[in-house]
């Protein structure tokens, strides 16, 4: 072999190292890759930072999921720290939350039977909190919230607005509305939990961001439709007007979904503030606005990162 033939062979490794775009991306997003528990969390994080399937093609990958798998494989990681022994099992936490969802309905029926004064408003406040409260965020969700500048007080402000909207509604329309919202807390809790589980399963089975979004939209709309039917049944049981109770129930349910999946607090707070306006169409407009917001926000893989 002469020297002219050997020179390209010797230079090949240097050209490959210099032209390794994934290595540059790994350095840029090292913190995300090091704390990720699986490639899906990296894919969701990359999407949240603006990297799409088209961008992944520039890194010699067909989609963000394939790129995330390489980043996960190439990230050096030490041993995971053991979980604290005082942490409650997931099943126990789920059972506590389900019991919390049952509580407003039980209190509403008891207070109505005993004709307790102002019971409707008190139960409505409790029901709104349960309908809205998404539960403590996971490590990934908390990190996304901190990076986006969303602090815990912002979430508490949204909860206060929800409670104010519920109390004001019952004050204007009567105790049956409060009982209807309380009874809707249980199907709201179950629908939100089922939606979260199914969305994460769909994310695990997807191979492209557009593929996930195409399946996530009908899943969201089906979940909202199912909750709407359940909330209508709750209104009939409570003796409240369905056309009055449904917009409030949907408003609180969509607030719960958006808060639980890292949506911006500003539009949610604006919708709840709109519900305080004493106009017939205000609550329906607020609920419709949150649904329009939820369709694109919850179709993003980054909204469903594993906690």
Query: Tens digit of pLDDT for each residue in 274-307?
Result: 999 998 899 999 999 999 999 999 988 878 765 5
What is the average pLDDT value for the chain, to the nearest integer? 76
Q: Which of 39-48, 140-149, 247-256 is most confident?
A: 247-256
Length of the chain: 307
Examine the domain organization and report whether 94 and 77 are in the same domain.
no
- Give the chain's domain count: 2
Provide the pLDDT for residue 307.
53
Examine the domain organization and report whether 192 and 268 are in the same domain.
yes
How many angstroms separate the most distant Cα atoms in the chain?
Answer: 101
Examine the domain organization and report whether 76 and 133 are in the same domain.
no
Return the higher-pLDDT residue of 38 and 144: 38
Domain presence at residue 6: no
Return the higher-pLDDT residue of 125 and 140: 125
CB 251 within 8 A of CB 275: yes
Domain presence at residue 7: no
Domain presence at residue 222: yes
Examine the domain organization and report whether 128 and 214 are in the same domain.
yes
Examine the domain organization and report whether 171 and 121 are in the same domain.
yes
Examine the domain organization and report whether 199 and 266 are in the same domain.
yes
| Structural domain of 256 | 90-304
Examine the domain organization and report whether 45 and 125 are in the same domain.
no
Domain presence at residue 4: no
- The runs of H, that is alpha helices, within the chain are 3-18, 21-28, 30-35, 39-48, 53-57, 64-74, 90-114, 119-132, 139-147, 152-173, 175-183, 185-205, 209-238, 242-260, 265-274, 282-297
Provide the pLDDT for residue 163.
83
pTM: 0.71
pLDDT band at 136 (very low <50, low <70, confident <90, very high): very low
Examine the domain organization and report whether 53 and 127 are in the same domain.
no
The answer to whether residue 199 scores a pLDDT higher than 80 is yes
Phi, psi of 138 (to 5 degrees): -75, 180
Domain presence at residue 271: yes
Residue 186 neighbours by CB under 8 Å, 6+ apart: 98, 101, 102, 105
Q: What is the mean pLDDT of the segment spanning 131-144?
A: 49
Domain boundary among 67, 87, 107: 87
Locate 27 and state its tokens.
Answer: 């350095």
Q: How many Å apart are CA 224 and CA 221, to the nearest integer? A: 5
Examine the domain organization and report whether 172 and 259 are in the same domain.
yes
Examine the domain organization and report whether 137 and 94 are in the same domain.
yes
Domain presence at residue 1: no
Domain boundary among 61, 87, 113: 87
The answer to whether residue 98 scores a pLDDT higher than 70 is no
Examine the domain organization and report whether 278 and 138 are in the same domain.
yes
**N- to C-terminal Cα distance for the chain?**
57
pLDDT band at 63 (very low <50, low <70, confident <90, very high): confident
Q: Which of 96-100, 112-116, 285-289 is most confident?
A: 285-289
Examine the domain organization and report whether 77 and 171 are in the same domain.
no
The answer to whether residue 82 scores a pLDDT higher than 50 is no
Domain boundary among 87, 117, 132: 87
Return the higher-pLDDT residue of 225 and 259: 225
């Amino acid at each position: 072999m002469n020297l002219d033939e050997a020179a390209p062979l010797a230079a090949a490794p240097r050209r490959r190292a210099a032209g390794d775009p994934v290595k540059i991306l790994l350095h840029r997003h090292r913190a995300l890759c090091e704390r990720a528990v699986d490639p899906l969390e990296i894919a969701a994080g990359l999407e949240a930072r603006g990297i799409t399937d088209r961008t992944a093609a520039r890194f010699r990958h067909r989609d963000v999921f394939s790129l995330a798998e390489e980043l996960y494989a190439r990230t050096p990681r030490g041993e995971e720290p053991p979980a604290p022994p005082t942490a409650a099992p997931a099943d126990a936490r789920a059972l506590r939350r389900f019991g919390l969802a049952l509580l407003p309905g039980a209190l509403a029926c008891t207070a109505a039977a005993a004709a307790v004064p102002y019971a409707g408003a008190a139960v409505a406040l409790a029901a709104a909190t349960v309908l809205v409260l998404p539960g403590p965020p996971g490590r990934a969700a908390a990190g996304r919230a901190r990076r986006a500048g969303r602090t815990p007080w912002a979430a508490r402000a949204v909860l206060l607005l929800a409670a104010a909207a519920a109390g004001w509604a019952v004050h204007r329309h009567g105790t049956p509305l409060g009982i209807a919202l309380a009874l809707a807390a249980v199907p709201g809790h179950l629908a939100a939990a089922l939606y979260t589980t199914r969305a994460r399963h769909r994310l695990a089975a997807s191979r492209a961001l557009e593929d996930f979004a195409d399946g996530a939209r009908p899943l969201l709309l089906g979940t909202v439709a199912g909750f709407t039917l359940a909330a209508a049944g709750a209104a009939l049981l409570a003796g409240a007007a369905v056309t009055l109770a449904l917009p409030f129930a949907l408003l609180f349910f969509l607030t719960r979904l958006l808060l639980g999946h890292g949506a911006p607090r500003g539009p949610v707070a604006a919708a709840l503030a709109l519900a305080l306006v004493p106009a017939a169409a205000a609550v329906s407009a607020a609920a419709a606005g949150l649904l329009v917001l939820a369709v694109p926000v919850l179709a993003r893989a980054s909204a469903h990162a594993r906690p």
